[in-house]
Structure 1
């Protein structure tokens, strides 16, 4: 390992992902950047996932299989972090694919800018690897590419409420020094919690304008379907609550609290939101349980979607006119 070719630890939790494991693992093998290790954590799969992984382990010495009982994605990633040898860590999901030059692009940016976090972008794909909808926020982020941003600006201008691990490259020395880990048993927005904790200690945050990842949308994906995630949201609120003075964490806490309110109000259950000092207007509506708060939140979210669409269209028109 040299300073220009650091070892990258790729972390991939697997649970009953046999259907898409071949394209995912092959996309890792196809990387133009060669100095990596792949830590695959089989989290108690009951399908052919383990068998498929063992096929790849047998022919590629850089792949390591870790088997464990099923405890959820957060603990699976934490197990891998304890094993990782890399200078950087990159997380992927077992049903997605990684662009061939993904690691090369992110490592180059990390080394060139001395970045503590590098974020790139993604393309949503279907079950057959075909592109789906346009990622509008990708175009909106473009003007900030190559700029070193503080945590607050990085959250507002780059993340834009998209807390996707697989578009980011993290430094392991930061993770080790501050013992940053995923919330055990948290199944929703555990990535947001991890990124927010990381940003507290990350001073050189950069965005690279490149599509490096294929995010697969399909029936059966972990983020599809409706489940009760209220306990998961509580875990994150409790974990980040004492750091609410940081503006980017306050924004996330308000967002989570509002989601918590909406879930419980729809189920006609009682709820008590945690007091967040100087929280957003929408949070204050929810926290005070004002009449029509639910409708106001829905209207605000609709206006936000329209605003992003308009900004995207304007940016497109300006780029065509140049």
Structure 2
């Protein structure tokens, strides 16, 4: 039995799968079981899998008809035998020491889950960058190197990236879980279920994963996003089931409303109309329940406006325009506030300039006075030097005079008499 089972679901990724596999087979942790699940690819992806498998007996290739990434991950999970499980996306790559570090940390602290960070690179532009979503600074600041569980996290559990590839799982935590098949955003549910099952979690503050953004990927292909409404309700049910809804409801409700509007905005054509109808029905179903709670009194103004505007609007276009108007109005208000701040700063600067001018003027006057005093002192010094010189001259003349020499004996008798 291998120490780590790496599960790689793949569909038509012939352009990327080689780089992905290379990053796994070249890990500094060698004791791996690499499960490659081809999800009915129509390109050369399965051939590439088989070629790698012929050279590395750690690779196990499973082929199935196209069922989607959830089904492919589930197939891999059912066939996994390792002590730990790691899910890898087929168009990304992993740092060479990642699995060794994650394994060592997990063994040292008997962890059920390790959460780590990812960098993103754009295939089209070549740009490489980090994002707050995958940096998870709130979790880093909260944990500070400590082990924690979901009760410790509270509402912060919804500040963690849900992507399975940014987690390293103990097999016993996830073996009886599965990804819901046939929908997108399924990793939200899998992640929260795994959080509730994990007694010991740890945030590893390192970038170990390299995430590719490409125009043809599932999440950028313009697919209907209405699955999110189902997923959001499932998240609510899970928090209630584990007694965490009251702790998480404000953060969760805020996240759900904002995410709903985001998915609505990303939808196109008929999909957008369909999303609006389903979102409005969902919000109407929730309105009475949440009106009895204090959720609407606590959540920020924008998600509250999205919720109310969706219910008020007759159609998708009216809803979209109402939120655009709200956002534009508030942006204008913020711009006006900023303008007022800048005006006040300008007034303060002008005031400071006047104060500075007066201060400078006083200093200039003082400097002039000091220069005058210095000039006068220099003149006095010159006069004193001349006076001393004149006195020395008079003294010298006196010392060499005939009268001074004639009276010398008399001065000596006078000094003796005083003694």
| Short-chain TM bin | 0.7 to 0.9
Tell me the distance in 2 between the aligned counterparts of 1:289 and 1:166: 36
Change (3 A) 1:27 1:156: farther
The residue that corresponds to 1:169 in the other structure is: 168
Contact kept? 1:244, 1:253, Cα under 8 Å = no
- For the structure 1 residues 235 and 157, does the alpha-carbon distance in structure 2 shift closer, same or farther, using more than 3 Å as the test? closer
**C-alpha distance in structure 2 between counterparts of 1:156 and 1:130, whole Å:** 36
* Aligned match of 1:98: 94
Moved more, 239-248 or 214-223: 239-248
Residue in 2 aligned with 1:256?
256
Which has a greater percent of helix?
2
Work out which of the residue numbers 169, 180, 185 in structure 1 matches 2:182: 185
Unmatched 5+ stretches in structure 1: 304-322
The verdict on how the C-alpha distance between 1:133 and 1:264 changes in structure 2, with shifts beyond 3 A counting, is closer
Q: Distance in 2 between matches of 1:24 and 1:9?
A: 15
- Superposed, 1:25-104 pairs within 5 Å as 25-104=21-100
The reply on whether 1:203 has 2:179 as its aligned counterpart is no
1:1-322 matches, within 5 Å, as 7-127=3-123, 132-136=128-132, 138=135, 140=137, 141-143=139-141, 144-151=143-150, 154=153, 160-176=159-175, 179-187=176-184, 189-230=185-226, 232-245=227-240, 246-247=244-245, 250=249, 251-252=251-252, 254-261=254-261, 263-264=263-264, 267=272, 269-270=276-277, 271-272=280-281, 273=283, 274-275=285-286, 277=290, 278=293, 279=295, 280-281=299-300, 283-289=303-309, 292=322
Matched-pair contact (CA < 8 Å) for 2:13–2:90: yes
Following TM superposition, by how much is the alpha carbon of 1:69 offset from its aligned partner in structure 2, in angstroms? 0.7
Seen in structure 2, the aligned counterparts of structure 1 residues 69 and 253 have a Cα distance that, compared at 3 Å, is farther
Aligned-residue offset at 1:127: 3.3
Distance in 2 between residues matched to 1:132 and 1:206, nearest whole Å: 26
User: Is this contact kept in 2: 1:9–1:38, CA < 8 A?
Assistant: yes
User: Radius of gyration: which is bigger?
Assistant: 2
C-alpha displacement at 1:48, in angstroms?
0.6
CA deviations on 1:286-320 (whole Å, 9 max, x unpaired) are 444377566668979xx9xxxxxxxxxxxxxxxxx
2:129 partner SS: coil
Q: Secondary structure at the match of 2:22?
A: helix
In 1, the alpha carbon distance for the partners of 2:20 and 2:136 equals: 26
In the alignment, the residues of structure 2 paired with residue 129 and residue 288 of structure 1 have an alpha-carbon distance, to the nearest angstrom, of 39
Residues 155 and 138 of structure 1: is their aligned pair in 2 closer, same or farther, counting only changes over 3 Å?
A: farther
Change (3 A) 1:293 1:12: same
TM-score where L is the length of structure 2: 0.62
Q: Render the CA deviation track for 1:91-113: whole Å, top value 9, x for unaligned.
A: 11000001100101111111111
**Kept in 1: contact 2:150–2:157 (CA 8 A):** no
8 Å CA contact retained: 2:4, 2:33: yes
Higher relative contact order (CA 8 A, sep 6+): 1
